[in-house]
Amino acid sequence: MAAESTLITVAPTGAEADKAAVPALPVTLTELVVTAKECEAAGAAVIHVHIRDEAARPTLDRGRLADTVAALREGTGLIVQLSTGGAVTDSFADRLAVLDAGPDACSLTCGTVNFGDEVFANPWPFIKDLYQLTQERQVVPEFELFDLGHVATLHRLLGQFGPPAGGHVHCDLVMGVPGGMPGDVATLAAAVAALPPGATWAATGIGRTTLPVLFAALAAGGHLRVGMEDTLSFARGRPVGRNAELVERASELARIAQRPPMSPADARLFLGIPDRRA
Ligand code: KMH
Ligand code: ZN
């Protein structure tokens, strides 16, 4: 059954794009909060957050992460989902320590994947440590699935350790990474068919798979993730100028599909995430 509204997540920054090459990328806390406000107004309900240091390099600095969670909570009603994937160079210990910042939610990638010329490492012992920590801290995980094998690992994780904090399994199919599953309709359908019963899902297509995956996800009753983490091109020869224009486009297409954007308040109920703002 298709949901009646569409949960839109914005992933505005990522760990890979270079600020010098992409001046529109939000990297400071001020830029991030401005972006978050614009994206909330445009229809986003969740923000997937990677932060940068003073030189715009990716960082998992604990103080900066805590300040970011606080600033986003103060400035927006968005669900704050911190990335535990970080950059491919981040240690497992630093990635686990992301939860110390007390976010609403976090990403949890269910397997290792080739990532362009690099490897995004998520071995089973790390996955299960991170999952158990989310349960202990009551941080709601979003299961990031870059490949069909990751779906099998999700089943293994739930079978061994039980349901996540919040009680609801929500996944994000990350498609079109060079090394992961391709961003096409057949692969999306196969991944969705393999999800655990009752799980909900969003999809995002990296780079030029952005639009095919967006259309396929809407047609299949799924939810959406968009943002400059996933694509820097709005259309052929036309760079993304602001994250909000990707959210605006997703919202408009969701409305056309008769499944308008879900509000942050409804998204909290949907995902089982309490509002931690004072
Ligand atoms: N930056 C990638 C290596 C996540 O945020 O959890 C990992 C990533 C996934 O972006
Ligand atoms: Zn990410």
Does the beta carbon of 143 lie inside 6 Å of ligand 1? Answer: no
Q: What atom in ligand 1 is closest to the CA of residue 144?
A: 6
Which two three-digit tokens encode residue 117?
Answer: 């010329």
The region that residue 133 occupies, defined by phi over 0 for left and psi between -120 and 50 for alpha, beta otherwise, is alpha
The ligand placed nearest to the CA atom of residue 227 is 2
Mutate to test the pocket of ligand 1, among 57, 107, 127, 174 (most ligand atoms within 8 A of CB): 107
Q: How do beta strands 118-120 and 113-115 pair?
A: antiparallel
The ligand placed nearest to the CA atom of residue 177 is 1
Residue 150 vs residues 64, 206, 264: alpha-carbon distances, Å: 30, 17, 28
CB of 95 closer than 8 Å to CB of 59: no
Question: What parts of the chain have a pLDDT lower than 70?
Answer: 1-2, 278
The ligand placed nearest to the CA atom of residue 90 is 1
Does the pTM exceed 0.85?
A: yes
CA-closest residue to ligand 1 atom 4? 85
Distance in angstroms between the alpha carbons of the first and the last residue of the chain: 35
Q: Which residues surround ligand 2, an ion (CB under 5 A)?
A: 83
- ∠ at Cα 145 (195, 110), nearest 5°? 100
CA-closest residue to ligand 1 atom 6? 85
What sign for the dihedral angle of Cα 115, 198, 261, 138? negative
Identify the pLDDT of residue 3. 79
Q: How far apart, in whole angstroms, are the C-alpha atoms of residue 44 and residue 48?
A: 11
DSSP 154-184: HHHHHHHH-SPTTS--EEEEEE--BTB---S
Identify the pLDDT of residue 1. 46
What sign for the dihedral angle of Cα 156, 146, 2, 73? positive
Does the beta carbon of 83 lie inside 6 Å of ligand 1? Answer: yes
Ligand 1 mean position to 87 CA, how many Å?
6
CB of 74 closer than 8 Å to CB of 39: no
Q: Enumerate the H helices of the chain as residue ranges.
A: 29-42, 62-75, 92-97, 124-137, 148-161, 185-194, 210-219, 243-256, 264-271
Mutate to test the pocket of ligand 1, among 81, 91, 94, 109 (most ligand atoms within 8 A of CB): 109
CA-closest residue to ligand 1 atom 10? 85
